[in-house]
Amino acid sequence: MRMTNSTTNNTSNTHLLEIEQVKKKIRMNNFYKGMLFLLPSIMLFSVFLFYPLFRTIYLSFFLTKASGDTTIFVGLENYVNMFASPLFLKSMKSTFLFVFYTVPTTILISLFLAVIANEKLKGIGFFRTIFSSTMGVSVAAASVLWLYLFNPTVGLFNQILDIFGFEAIGWLTDPKWALLSVSATTIWMNIGFTFLILLSGLQSIDSSLYESADIEGAGYFYKLRRITIPMLSPTLFFVITVTIINAFQSFGQIDILTQGGPVNETNLLVYSIYREAFVNYRFGSASAQAIVLFVLILFMTYLQFKLGERKVHYQ
Amino acid sequence: MTMSTSRKVIFYVILILSALLLAGPMILAFVLSLMTNQDILTGNIPTALTVDNYIRAFERSPLLSYLINSLLVSIVIMLGQLLLSSLAAYAFVFLEFKGRDILFYIFIATLMVPFEVSVIPNFHLIRDLGWIDSYAGLTIPFFATAFGTFLLRQNFKQIPKELREASQIAGIGDVKYYLTVVLPVAKSSLVTFGIYGFLSTWNMYLWPLLATTNDKVRTVQIGLKQLQTQEQVNEWGVIMAGAVIVIIPTLILLFFGQKKLQKGLTEGALK
């Protein structure tokens, strides 16, 4: 009895061992296959994303030659100089002002458009296409269109002012107006994408909520305030962070509309990095500025993950 | 639920006004591109329509070769992104192996590094590789994308696991399964991401500005900037003709792909 028992135990043990080995083999096999499928992406990420990121951090501690080679290690000096530089501080101020001008307005206009385009009306698809159309307009094209609108003599805005007898405004040359003008262009460009995401958010709200509100005789604006906006909050939160991140990354509209002027009024962060690196060839201090951009965007992404997760509710 | 007629009228009025305001700059650009300089400068209602501005835009700059460059670059990046992200998504969905989660977090981490942050070393890298003014320099850095991988992963996950198990018993390997089952099933998502990839590449600005120094591979966005800076103030018709030419391909793509894009982007973005 005892004998037989131990034999069966032995055989099942060897079986188990074999199964373990086969499993291990499959897992190793899967590992190689997995790496094979992922290798192209990982390689490109390493070369064009992670290496340059660390290289940017590295460069920010050095002075460089015009070729980009490092010359002297200066520690934190680039950072110290940066935060003492009135030019950089002005650039930061303009960047935050720009975010403040563009983000709330973009969201409000897009939300308004999404709400009116969410009605079940004949031909609504046409309006949805129009409202999302600025998504297809490149930053270069959008800037050129608005460059005309802002033109001091033949531009549409000053022509309208002229009709009503107002004095012409130097939209892009007057320090009071330049950042606002660049912001207006940016808002227009961003509406398409923001609208599309908000519309999707609206469409995914359960229609039974509205039906029960209708039974209780709730009005249009009551429903908007009590159902639409709260149910849309995860989507709203998402588009707000994405719009902020986009605003921090703005470059093309500055390059075409103002080149950072007048008196550096529109010298936003990425434009400032570009100028420091590719016009002044000071790659060390340009890298220090790039790290500031990195930290800002990292913080926004962190907020997105942290708060977004808690707020999102799926049905 | 039907709306009263008066409310319908109010909605239509608001919709039409909003559409006119939003599309205004584009409509205006189109009209200007067909106007004579005389009319533009005097701010008149157009007295005559002409396509002269378009002809001049093509004559004064190598616009046609810019367009071909943009088309090539966009298509190559689109295909590269589709290939790499579908391969990666396949590994994340269908292959279980040690270290997969870590790799997944690495993909998430890439979302936190905007291109502008790494643009300086990237420029030096491309220069040292001798890739300035080459299609390689304009395209290869953008092949790997976490966004595309997540979007396709979301879609691949909807393919029943049992299907893979059954195919494994039938002796179908991963490469064959990827090619003959997964890609055809996920066709719709691939098209959506393809449209998105094409749109964003066509509209790229900073990198083509840095990575091109001559007309040989320069893209149309930078071409438009050049057209604008070289034209005199009184040639708005030509500049607008250039802008219209740049916008039209993406607008057409958007008109056909808007519904797909809307669905795809929200899935990829919110889940």
3-state helix, strand, coil in chain A (%, to 5): 75, 0, 20
Chain B residues whose CB is inside 8 A of the A148 CB are 28-29, 32, 236, 239-240
CB contact under 8 A, B114 and A249: yes
Residue B168 lies in domain? 61-270
Chain A residues whose CB is inside 8 A of the B247 CB are 136-138, 141
Q: Which residue of B has its CA nearest to A272?
A: B116
Task: Supply the DSSP symbol for A71.
Answer: E
**What CATH number should be reported for the domain whose range is A84-311?**
1.10.3720.10
**pLDDT class for A1, splitting at 50, 70, 90?**
very low
Q: Which residue of B has its CA nearest to A31?
A: B97
pLDDT of res. B234: 65
* For residues B18-45, average pLDDT: 88
User: Which distant-in-sequence residues (6+ apart) come within 8 Å of B243 by Cβ?
Assistant: A141, A144, A145, B29, B33, B224
Q: What is the pLDDT of residues B102-141, one digit of tens each?
A: 999 999 889 889 999 999 999 999 999 999 999 999 999 9
CA distance to partner chain A, nearest, from residue B43 (Å)? 7
- Which of A154, A196, A278 lies closest to B41 in CB terms? A154
Chain A residues whose CB is inside 8 A of the B255 CB are 129, 133
pLDDT of res. B29: 94
Nearest to A147 by CA among A138, A157, A137: A157
Burial degree of A15 (CB within 10 A; 0-12, 13-18, 19+): exposed
**Res A41 pLDDT > 60:** yes
Q: Beta-strand (E) ranges in A103-174?
A: none
Return the percentage of chain B with pLDDT > 90, whole number: 55
What is the distance in angstroms between the CA of the first residue and the CA of the last residue of chain B? Answer: 32
pLDDT of res. A314: 39
Q: What is the pLDDT of residues B171-185, one digit of tens each?
A: 888 889 999 999 998
CA distances for A81 relative to A84, A136, A264, B132, angstroms: 5, 40, 18, 32
**Res A315 pLDDT > 70:** no
- Which of B95, B96, B236 lies closest to A154 in CB terms? B236
Highest-scoring range by mean pLDDT, A188-192, B57-61, B162-166: A188-192
d(CA A101, CA A243): 12
Q: What is the pTM for the complete model shown?
A: 0.89
Nearest to A91 by CA among A240, A256, A239, A288: A288
Q: What is the pLDDT of residues A65-80, one digit of tens each?
A: 988 888 899 999 999 9
CB contact under 8 A, B116 and A293: yes
pLDDT of res. A10: 60
Q: Total domain count for chain B?
A: 1
Is residue B201 assigned to a domain?
yes
**pLDDT class for A298, splitting at 50, 70, 90?**
very high
A to B CB pairs, distance under 8 Å: 274
Is residue B186 assigned to a domain?
yes
- Which residue stretches of B95-171 are H helix? 100-110, 119-128, 135-139, 146-156, 161-169
CATH number of the domain bearing residue B147: 1.10.3720.10
Task: Supply the DSSP symbol for B114.
Answer: -
pLDDT of res. A3: 47
**pLDDT class for B2, splitting at 50, 70, 90?**
low
d(CA B12, CA B6): 10
**Res B1 pLDDT > 90:** no
Confirm if A301 and A240 have CB atoms less than 8 A apart.
Answer: no
Domain positions in chain A are 2-59, 84-311
The enclosing H or E element of A73 equals strand A70-73
d(CA A155, CA A292): 37
Chain B residues whose CB is inside 8 A of the A119 CB are 3, 11
Buried b (16+ CB within 10 A) or exposed e, B109-135: ebebbbbbbbbbbbbbbbeeeebbbbe
* For residues A203-222, average pLDDT: 84
Looking at per-residue confidence, does B222 or A1 come out higher? B222
**pLDDT class for B267, splitting at 50, 70, 90?**
low
What is the distance in angstroms between the CA of the first residue and the CA of the last residue of chain A? Answer: 60
User: Which distant-in-sequence residues (6+ apart) come within 8 Å of B135 by Cβ?
Assistant: B72, B73, B76, B217
Q: Which residue of A has its CA nearest to B94?
A: A34
* For residues A148-159, average pLDDT: 91
Chain B residues whose CB is inside 8 A of the A157 CB are none
pLDDT of res. A312: 46
Query: Is A297 within 8 Å of chain B by CB?
Result: yes
Is residue B89 assigned to a domain?
yes
pLDDT of res. A308: 66
pLDDT of res. B271: 46
Q: What is the pLDDT of residues B79-98, one digit of tens each?
A: 999 999 999 999 999 988 88
pLDDT of res. A12: 65
To 5 degrees, how large is the angle CA A40–CA A43–CA A44?
Answer: 85
Is residue B261 assigned to a domain?
yes
Confirm if A155 and B236 have CB atoms less than 8 A apart.
Answer: no
**Res B269 pLDDT > 70:** no
Q: What is the pLDDT of residues A96-145, one digit of tens each?
A: 999 999 999 999 999 999 999 998 888 999 999 999 999 999 999 999 99
Neighbours of A238 (CB within 10 A): 20
pLDDT of res. A272: 96
Average pLDDT along chain B: 89
Looking at per-residue confidence, does B234 or A211 come out higher? A211
d(CA A266, CA A272): 10
Mutant choice from A29, A122, A131, A145 vs B, greatest count of B C-beta within 10 A: A145
* Residue A249 token pair: 């990354």
d(CA A48, CA B126): 10
Q: What is the pLDDT of residues B184-236, one digit of tens each?
A: 988 888 998 999 899 999 999 999 999 999 888 999 999 999 888 886 656 88
Is residue B43 assigned to a domain?
no
Chain B residues whose CB is inside 8 A of the A205 CB are none
Radius of gyration for the alpha carbons in chain A, expressed in angstroms and rounded = 28
Q: Which residue of A has its CA nearest to B198?
A: A136
pLDDT of res. B233: 56
Q: How many residues does chain A have?
A: 315
pLDDT of res. B268: 57
